[in-house]
Amino acid sequence: MTCMGLHVRRASRIMTQRYDAAFRSVGLAPTQFTLLVAIHLLEPAAITQLAQELFTDQTTITRNIKLLEQRGLVAINPGDDRRIKLASLTVEGQAVLEQALPLWEQVQTEVKQHFGEEKWQTLLSLLAEVKTLS
Amino acid sequence: MTCMGLHVRRASRIMTQRYDAAFRSVGLAPTQFTLLVAIHLLEPAAITQLAQELFTDQTTITRNIKLLEQRGLVAINPGDDRRIKLASLTVEGQAVLEQALPLWEQVQTEVKQHFGEEKWQTLLSLLAEVKTLS
DNA sequence: TCATATAACATGTATATACATTTTATATGG
DNA sequence: CCATATAAAATGTATATACATGTTATATGA
């Protein structure tokens, strides 16, 4: 059964477990790592902006960011427009991100070696192209 | 940021939404459709067997199958080894699956056309190769 | 045969995810 | 200026997911 939906979900689960194992020592889930990076890049980042960048529902960002806030990794401040919530990394958030980055590089390298440079690039670009479906 | 983890998770979310929309009229989530198909193919299918086939944790199968059982789409019977639970489709499960199949074909066709035959095949085979990571 | 190991499944707990809807603040038209 | 539309975020609800652990039934070795 060559169902694209199944294939991509399955690959996502397997890959996620791989990254999850890598980040375990810093207590970050892969999604949380991604969110920290995104906040770092867009700082100060509005919820909606993060949702657009990550192709995730706004309500998902609201909930995921709350966990990071509760853990003290992210600070939330109101924007000039007080409907907007702006997220930025706390000092501790920056520290955790810096701890996580080499772990991320490690997995990336391992997975890249597993596939080989060419397949790695092909897979990345095809996955990126999935965005054009939405 | 060319993070493979992010790319595959994002593609998974987008693709899942696409299939989800397709199945909405029969009230199936993509995962549920996949599980119905797997049960149909392996019938009668043990929980652990389904987990292995789908590369999913056993506890996830236990929970997902329970929803299908409650809805009357799947029947669970003990095996000769009474630790084992065997799942099979009910008449209603078969009916729903038959309703869902053309919807599935439809999405498959649309997505395949979007990518083109060649990229579609490449993506499928690269995603399948992700299994070798685990 | 009985104690113990192991296999199959279930439960507790936690995160991720999205749709439908609600709340609150800003924008806009009359 | 006020009524209404719209934008941003939060809440209610439901599924999917996995790890750690518990429960129960079978297998195995002394």
Q: Is the CB of A63 under 7 A from strand C?
A: yes
Question: For residue B100, what pLDDT band results from cuts at 50, 70 and 90?
Answer: very high
| Strand residues in A20-101 grouped as ranges (E) | 45-46, 74-78, 85-89
Residues of B in contact with A116 (CB under 8 A): none
CATH number, domain B15-133, options 1.10.10.10, 2.60.40.420, 3.40.50.2300, 3.20.20.70: 1.10.10.10
pLDDT at A134: 83
How many CB atoms neighbour CB B117 within 10 A? 9
Long-range contacts of A53-58 (CB under 8 A, 24+ apart): A54/B6, A54/B10, A55/A131, A55/A134, A55/B10, A55/B13, A55/B14, A56/B10, A56/B13
Q: Take residue A80 and report the two structure tokens written for it.
A: 């000039």
Q: Take residue A131 and report the two structure tokens written for it.
A: 């965005």
What sign does the CA torsion over A110, A13, A16, A118 have? positive
pLDDT at A32: 98
Cα–Cα distance between B46 and B57 in angstroms, integer? Answer: 13
Is B126 within 8 Å of A119 when comparing Cβ atoms?
yes
pLDDT digits 0-9 by tens, B23-79: 999 999 999 999 999 999 999 999 999 999 999 999 999 999 999 999 999 999 999
pLDDT at B1: 56
Q: Is the CB of A56 under 7 A from strand C?
A: yes
- Which chain B residue shows the shortest CA-CA distance from A125? B7
A1 pLDDT higher than 90? no
Query: Percent of chain A, pLDDT > 90?
Result: 99
pLDDT digits 0-9 by tens, A62-119: 999 999 999 999 999 999 999 999 999 999 999 999 999 999 999 999 999 999 999 9
Report the CATH fold assignment for A12-133.
Answer: Arc Repressor Mutant, subunit A (1.10.10)
Q: Where are the domains of chain B?
A: 15-133
